[in-house]
Amino acid sequence: MAMSARIFIVEDEEPLSLLLRYNLEAEGYRVDVCGRGDEAELKLREEAPDLLLLDWMLPGLSGIELCRRLRQRRETENIPVIMLTARGEEAERVRGLSTGADDYVVKPFSVPELLARVKALLRRVNPERIADELGAGDIRLDRTTRRVWRSGGELHLGPTEFRLLEFFMEKPGRVYSRGQLLDAVWGRDAEIDERTVDVHVGRLRKALSGGDGRDPIRTVRGAGYSLDEKFARA
């Protein structure tokens, strides 16, 4: 099953954050890591992940305080949060949850258990991200077989165009900058010009032409691209 959800790990114990990153990436998630609470707060203002793994005790700003602040801002109030805590006392757990965490695990935890909780929480809050099949308008995309249909007819997309479409279909209406698309589709370390994104969006558009004739990709001047929300809902 393809899983492209973005997970943000905020943890100052580097061996632990490396272990988590390795295991989450092996599951197909996209992972970012930060070791300080205050830096994490700034990053979260730029981009909301699909799920946050948040350590309780952090330099700069505690995980509890960060979680409390996230819940107070409209843009971040719905980010799913799993707290990682070394404290096992029941009162502390209750306090962790009362700050707005969706779940918590007590260190040391087993990696498979954490992965199961991540998956369960993602499924609860955002079923599209781990669904095998995505649909938008007359387009249907199957992640397990990597096939795409429009109005019932199969389309033939290159791997990059498939990945772009999959990414757009996860969040119809959301506008992505070229930089965000580069990160998501080619990876953060790819040394690719942002104009490459335009080339592949052009190819995707061409591959998608047909069906009911509408162009599902919207160009937002000065901002980037999105999957047209009206198209997706039709």
Q: Closest distance between Ca ion and the C-beta of residue 57, in Å?
A: 4
DSSP symbols for 51-69: EEEEESS-SSS-HHHHHHH
Handedness of CA 142, 146, 152, 158 (dihedral sign): positive
Q: Which is nearer to Ca ion, 59 or 210 (CB)?
A: 59
- Which residue's C-beta sits nearest to Ca ion? 57
Binding map of Ca ion across residues 6-45, x = CB under 5 A, - = no contact: ------x---------------------------------
CB within 8 A of 115, min separation 6: which ones? Answer: 23, 24, 27
Residue among 192, 153, 185, 193 nearest 169 (CA): 185
Of the pair 14, 132, the CB lying nearest Ca ion is at 14
Q: Which amino acid is at 133?
A: E
Least distance to Ca ion, CB of residue 150, Å: 49
CB 104 within 8 A of CB 96: yes
Minimum Å distance from CB 2 to Ca ion?
32
Paired residues of 225 in beta bridges? 176, 219
> At its nearest, how many Å lie between Ca ion and the CB of residue 10?
9
Site size toward Ca ion (CB under 5 A) is 3
Integer Cα distance of 165 and 204 in angstroms: 7
Residue 55 or 161 having the CB closest to Ca ion: 55
CB of 45 to Ca ion, least distance (A): 22
> Smallest distance from the beta carbon of 205 to Ca ion, in angstroms?
46
**Residues recorded for the chain:** 234
Site string for Ca ion, 49-88 (x = CB under 5 A): ------x-x-------------------------------
What the block records as the tokens of 233 is 């809902």
Residue 92, interface with Ca ion (CB under 5 A)? Answer: no
Compute the distance between CA of residue 196 and CA of residue 182 in angstroms, rounded to an integer.
9
Which of 15/152 has CB closer to Ca ion?
15
CB atoms within 10 A of CB 157: 20
Choices 47-55, 121-129, 177-185, 222-230 (CB under 5 A): range interacting with Ca ion? 47-55
**Footprint of Ca ion on this chain (CB under 5 A)?**
12, 55, 57
